[in-house]
C-alpha cells in the first residue's frame, strides 16, 4: 500500500514508509510510525511519530493512534477493521479526521483490489 517500507514487528520499533520508491525512508517524504502493540494474527497498533514534510495537521497527528483488527470469517476470508483514535474536537483534528476518512478508504479499496488478484490460498496470481 506504499511504494517502500521497512518494518520490524516488535513493540517500540519504527515502521518507516514512503509513497516514493526512491526514498531512503529517512527523507522529508517518509513517514515513521511507532509500533505500540500487536497480537499476531489478531491486532496491530501504531502511532505516527514523524509525518511527511508539509503534512497539514502536525499537532493533531501527534495525539492519535491506529488499531488494526483482523477477524477470521472463514478459511479464505479475513475482516480487517481499522480504527484511528485520539481525535479531539478542535478544527485541526476534525479536518484531519475527514482527510483520513477519505484517504484510508482509498487505501483500503486499493488493498481489496490487490487481494482480488489472489488465489484462494492468498498467493498473488
pLDDT tens-digit map of 19-71? 999 999 999 999 999 999 999 999 999 999 999 999 999 999 999 999 999 99
Q: What pLDDT, on the 0 to 100 scale, is given for residue 121? A: 54
pLDDT of residue 122: 54
Mean of the per-residue pLDDT values of the chain: 90
Dig out the grid coordinates for 29 from the structure.
517524504
Residue 43 has a CB neighbour count (10 Å cut-off) of 14
Look at residue 120 and tell me whether its pLDDT is greater than 70.
no
pLDDT band at 124 (very low <50, low <70, confident <90, very high): very low
pLDDT at 123 over 60: no
pLDDT of res. 78: 87
The percent of residues in the chain predicted with pLDDT above 70, rounded, is 94
Encode pLDDT of 74-114 as tens digits: 988 889 899 999 999 999 999 999 999 998 888 888 888 88
HEC sequence for the chain: CCCEEEECCCCCCEEEEECCCCCCCCCCCCEEEEEEEEECCCEEEEEEEECCCCCCCHHHHCCCEEEEEEEEEECCEEEEEEEEECCCCCHHHHHHHHHHHHHHHHHHHHHHHHHCCECCCCCEC
Domain spans in the chain, listed from the N-terminal domain onward: 4-115
pLDDT digits (tens, 9 = 90+) for 78-88: 898 999 999 99
Instruction: Specify the CATH number for 4-115; select among 3.30.390.50, 3.40.50.2300, 3.90.10.10, 3.30.530.20.
Output: 3.30.530.20
Amino acid at each position: 500500500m506504499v511504494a517502500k517500507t521497512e518494518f520490524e514487528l516488535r513493540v517500540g520499533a519504527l515502521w518507516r514508509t514512503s509513497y516514493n520508491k526512491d526514498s531512503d525512508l529517512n527523507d522529508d517524504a517518509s513517514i515513521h510510525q511507532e509500533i505500540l502493540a500487536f497480537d499476531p494474527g489478531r491486532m496491530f497498533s501504531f502511532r505516527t511519530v514523524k509525518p511527511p514534510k508539509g503534512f497539514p495537521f502536525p499537532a493533531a497527528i501527534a495525539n492519535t493512534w491506529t488499531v488494526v483488527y483482523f477477524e477470521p470469517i472463514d478459511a479464505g476470508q479475513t475482516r480487517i477493521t481499522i480504527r484511528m483514535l485520539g481525535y479531539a474536537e478542535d478544527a485541526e483534528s476534525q479536518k484531519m479526521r475527514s482527510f483520513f476518512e477519505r484517504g484510508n478508504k482509498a487505501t483500503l479499496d486499493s488493498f481489496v483490489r490487490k487481494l482480488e488478484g489472489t488465489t484462494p490460498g492468498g498467493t498473488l496470481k
